[in-house]
Amino acid sequence: MKTAAIIGGGVIGGGWAARFLLNGWAVRVFDPDPDAERKLADVLANARRALPGLGNVALPAEGELSFHSTIAETVAGADWVQESVPERLDLKQKVYAELQQHTPAAAVIGSSTSGYKPSQLQDGFDNAARIVVAHPFNPVYLMPLVEVVTTPVNPPEVIETAKAIITSVGMYPLHLKKEIDAHVADRFLEAVWREALWLVKDGIATTEEIDNAIRYGFGIRWAQMGLFETYRVAGGEAGMKHFLAQFGPCLTWPWTKLMDVPEFNDELVDLIAGQSDAQSGRHSIRELERIRDDNLVGMMRALSANDWGAGALQNAHDVARMSEAGLARTLDEVADPSQPVLTLNRVVPLDWTDYNGHMTESRYLDAFAQSTDRLMEIIGCDAAYIAAGGSYFTAETHIRHLDEVHAGQPIQVRTRVILGQGKKMHLWHEMYEGERLLATGEHMLLHVDLKTRRSAPPAAHIEAKLTQLAEGQAGLPTPEGLGRAIGAPR
C-alpha cells in the first residue's frame, strides 16, 4: 500500500487526504489544530458519500488514516508528501526545512500553494529537485485538475512520477513548464473576480445575478469544452479565424475594468457579504457542500456518457481500475468460466435514487444492461465488432425486484449464460450487496446484422466463446425464478 503524508489538514489538505484514502492509499496527517481530526472527519464524510458514485468501477478498499504529532513521524515511509499549510512563505519554508531532514529520498513533495512559484519553495533546500507545485481545486476529492508547476531543477523522472501518481488517483496533471505567480487557473479566476467586484460595487449586478450568469451560461460551456474550443465553435463553419475577426476589435473597447481594482474597504466587504447572505444564507455550509457535490457528480457523470471533458477522464480512470475491481475485459481474464461471471462492481450513485429513497426501478435495468454489455465485450462483441456490423439486440427481459438498495451502497452483478447457441444469447443476472440478493434479471438477446437490422448468426469466434461459457456453467443449479412470468407461482 502506498503512503501519502498530508502536512496541513484544512479544507485543501483534508480534500487531498480523502482523495488518496479513498483510492486505497495509507494517509498520514500532521496538523497542530486541536480540531483537525474532527474537521477532516467532516470532509471525509462528504467524500465517502460523493466520490464512490462518480465512477462506474468500484474504488479499492479504503486505506488507513492516521494522525501524527510531528512532521518527522508523518512523512516516515511516504511516497508522496502534500504540503497544504497557510499561504505564508515564511511558514512554508519552515515546513520545507523539516521536510528536507525527514522525507524519504524517493518521495515527491507537492505544494497546494495557489500563488507561490516553485522556485520560491525550492530556494535554499538540498532536496529542491523533489519539490513541485501541485495546486488542486476544491473539493479536491472530486475536482480533477492539479496544476503541476516545475522548474529546471526538477529532473524528468520526478516530473513523470508526480504526473503518474496524480493520474493514478483519478486526477488530471496540467504540467506548467514555465512558472508564473498564481499559475494559470487562478489568474483566470482573479480576472473574473476583479470584474465581478466592480459590477457589484457599481450596482450593475448583485452577487446572485453574477453567479447566475456563470452557472446558467458560460460556466457550463467551459466545464465541457474550455475557452478556446468554445470560441472556435462560436466562429461557426469559418472557425477561430472568423471568431477573432469578429470579436478581436472588442479587446480595445472599454468592456472591463480588468486592471483597475476597486478599493477593498469595509463598505465593499459589507455590500458583498450582505448580498451573499441574502442569496445563500438559508443553507448551512455543509448543506451547500452537499448540494455542490451532488451537482458536480451529476455533471461529470453526464459528461462521461459522451466521453467528453472531465467525463472522459473518469472513463479512463474506470478502465484503469477494472482489473483491480475484478472485472474481466476478455474471456481469457475470467478466472473461472464455470462460475457466474462478475460483470458489474460499483456503488449506487446519488442520481440513481427516486422519491422513495431507494434505487429507482429503471436503474435495475440500467445495471443489468451494463452487465450485458460487459458480457458482450468479454465474448468479443466489442466496439470494433459492432462497428463492423454485428451486435446483439434484447428481445425480452424479466426483472424481479427482491430487496431495496440505497445511494452509496456497493452492488455487484454476477452473470450466467443459460444458452449461447446460434443467434440466441440467454442471460441470467443476479444483483447482490455482499451476499444479499437484491434483484434478478433474465434477458433473451438475438444476434443482429446492423446493415439489415435483422437477426443473423454471429461470427464464429463470438459463438464459440459464448458456447464455452454456456457449457462451462451448465452444471450449475437452475436459478430460482428462471423462466418465471409475472403472477406465476414460485
Residues of each domain in the chain carrying CATH 3.10.129.10: 326-472
Distance CA 341, CA 476 (A): 13
The rounded mean pLDDT for the chain is: 93
Sheet of strand 65-68, all strands in order from the earlier edge strand to the far edge: 65-68, 26-30, 3-7, 80-83, 108-111, 131-135, 145-149, 172-176
Grid coordinates representing 328? 474481466
Confidence category of residue 489, pLDDT binned at 50, 70, 90: low
Confidence category of residue 284, pLDDT binned at 50, 70, 90: confident
Q: Are 414 and 342 in contact (CB under 8 A)?
A: yes
Annotated binding site for NAD(+): 8-13
pLDDT for res 279: 79
Which residues contact residue 135 at a Cβ distance below 8 angstroms, ignoring those fewer than 6 apart?
111, 112, 113, 114, 146, 147, 149, 183, 185, 186
> CATH number of 3-183: 3.30.300.30, 3.30.70.20, 3.40.50.720, 3.90.1820.10?
3.40.50.720
Neighbour count for residue 174 (Cβ, 10 Å)? 17
Distance CA 473, CA 248 (A): 67
CA angle centred on 436, ends 314 and 41, rounded to 5°? 50
- Let me know if domain 186-282 sits in CATH 1.10.1040.10: yes
pLDDT for res 490: 57
Tell whether pTM > 0.85: no
Greater model confidence, 148 or 486: 148
Write down the number of H helices and E strands in the chain: 17, 14
Polymer length in residues for the chain: 490
Distance CA 367, CA 348 (A): 10
Q: Phi-psi category of 391—alpha, beta or left, where left has phi over 0 and alpha has psi -120 to 50?
A: beta
What CA–CA distances, in Å, run from 405 to 37, 48, 55, 359, 459? 31, 17, 18, 6, 38
Annotated binding site: 8-13
Q: Are 40 and 69 in contact (CB under 8 A)?
A: no
Task: Flag whether pLDDT at 448 surpasses 90.
Answer: yes
pLDDT for res 224: 82
Distance CA 127, CA 107 (A): 10
Confidence category of residue 288, pLDDT binned at 50, 70, 90: confident
Grid coordinates representing 78? 511516504
Confidence category of residue 238, pLDDT binned at 50, 70, 90: confident
Residues of each domain in the chain carrying CATH 1.10.1040.10: 186-282
pLDDT in tens, 358-369: 999 999 999 999
Distance CA 310, CA 324 (A): 22
Residues of each domain in the chain carrying CATH 3.40.50.720: 3-183
pLDDT for res 249: 73
- Enter the CATH code of domain 326-472: 3.10.129.10
Q: Are 150 and 170 in contact (CB under 8 A)?
A: no
Closest CA to 52 of 405, 312, 44: 44
Closest CA to 145 of 136, 134, 156: 136
